[in-house]
Amino acid sequence: MTRVSMQVDGVTYTDEVEPRTLLVHHLREALGKVGTVVGCDTSNCGACTVHLDGQAVKSCTVLAVQADGAEVTTIEGVAAPDGSLHPVQKAFHEMHGLQCGYCTPGMIMASIDLLKENPNPSDTEVREGIEGNLCRCTGYQNIVRAVQQAAGELSGSATTPETTGAQA
C-alpha cells in the first residue's frame, strides 16, 4: 500500500491505496465521488473525465498514486458553494444536452476545459474538443448547443446557439 494525498473538490484526503488502483476507482470507492462514472473498460468513453491540476483527464487512465499531491476537480465540485449550477451545467440543462445522463459528468468536465482553452469555439471546435467523450443518446447536437450557450454566458456576450446557425 502507498500513502497518497490529494485535494478533491477543495478537500484534502490522505489514504493508503494499492499501487494499481485507478484514480476513478479511488474517487468513487474511497472518497465517495460517485458522480464520476465508469462507462467502458477501454479508455474510450470519457465518462470518467475529471480535472487533474486543471487539465481534463480520463480518470480511468491515471493511477491514484499519480495524483499524489495533485488538485482534482470532479463534477461534484463545479457548482458554486451555494449550490448554483456552473454555467456549463446550466446550459446542458437548458439546452437538453442530455438524455440518460450517463455521459454528462464527463461531457461537462471536458467542456469546461475546452472553454478555458477556447472561450468562443465554433461548432467544429466544440465537436473536436469533446471527441474523446462518447454519448449514446443525444446525437451531440444539443451538447454542442449547450457548450456554445455556456461560452456566451462565460464570456458575457450575447452569443446564443441561434446566432451561430446551429439546428436542433
- The site for ligand FES (CB under 6 A) is made up of 38-40, 43-48, 58, 60, 98-103, 135-138
Residue among 129, 155, 150 nearest 140 (CA): 129
CB of 144 to ligand FES, least distance (A): 13
Q: Which helix (H) or strand (E) holds 72?
A: strand 71-73
> What CA–CA distances, in Å, run from 113 to 26, 88, 133, 153, 162?
22, 11, 13, 15, 23
CB of 134 to ligand FES, least distance (A): 7
**Please, which residue, 45 or 67, has the CB nearer to ligand FES?**
45
Q: Which helix (H) or strand (E) holds 90?
A: helix 87-94
**Please, which residue, 48 or 144, has the CB nearer to ligand FES?**
48
Which of the 8 DSSP states describes residue 76?
G
CB of 7 to ligand FES, least distance (A): 21
With contact defined as beta carbons under 8 Å apart, do 109 and 51 qualify? yes
**Please, which residue, 134 or 166, has the CB nearer to ligand FES?**
134
CB of 56 to ligand FES, least distance (A): 12
**Please, which residue, 3 or 136, has the CB nearer to ligand FES?**
136
